[in-house]
Amino acid sequence: MPAVQTLDRPELVTQILPNRLSIDESDRWGAPLAQLMRRTLAQDLTSRLPPGVFIFPDAPAPPDTRMLVVTVLDAETDASGTVTLQAAWTLQSGQPARATLTQQATLKAALENRGAAAQTAALSRILGALADRIAASVVAR
């Protein structure tokens, strides 16, 4: 069984073959990718949900506030120029917290070109689409 490895690095990484990655040494993320994705998704959710419904991560929350847990299962750019993000989210409420909603999605966006800016733009579009899906599922509850 092949070893599974996860890359957490500042450079942009693209899968060019099934077992080969390309690391762009000249372009870097402005912060750790997980932090950037969390901030972008939080801002997107704030703009899509009614005022006062979303509280930013790490901000004080009133008692009985429902909690949204989002997990990015995979994010990759393949050799064909497609960015894919697999994510799951759970809405929890009550004390002790119990899941009232669990969903997942696989979202894709095509790169407009091969540069770092195109990868960043595609990921931003995907996070916006993820925010749309999360907002729709949360508001329905």
Structural domain count, the chain: 1
Is residue 4 situated within a structural domain?
no
Is residue 47 situated within a structural domain?
yes
Is residue 53 situated within a structural domain?
yes
What domain range is 20 assigned to? 11-139
CATH number, domain with residue 33: 3.40.50.10610
- Lowest-pLDDT range, 1-5, 69-73, 83-87, 123-127? 1-5
Amino acid found at 134? I
Output 130 or 77, whichever has higher pLDDT. 130
pLDDT tens digits, residue range 13-52?
666 666 666 666 666 556 677 888 899 999 999 999 998 8
Provide the whole-model pTM. 0.79
How many other CB atoms sit within 10 Å of the CB of residue 126? Answer: 22
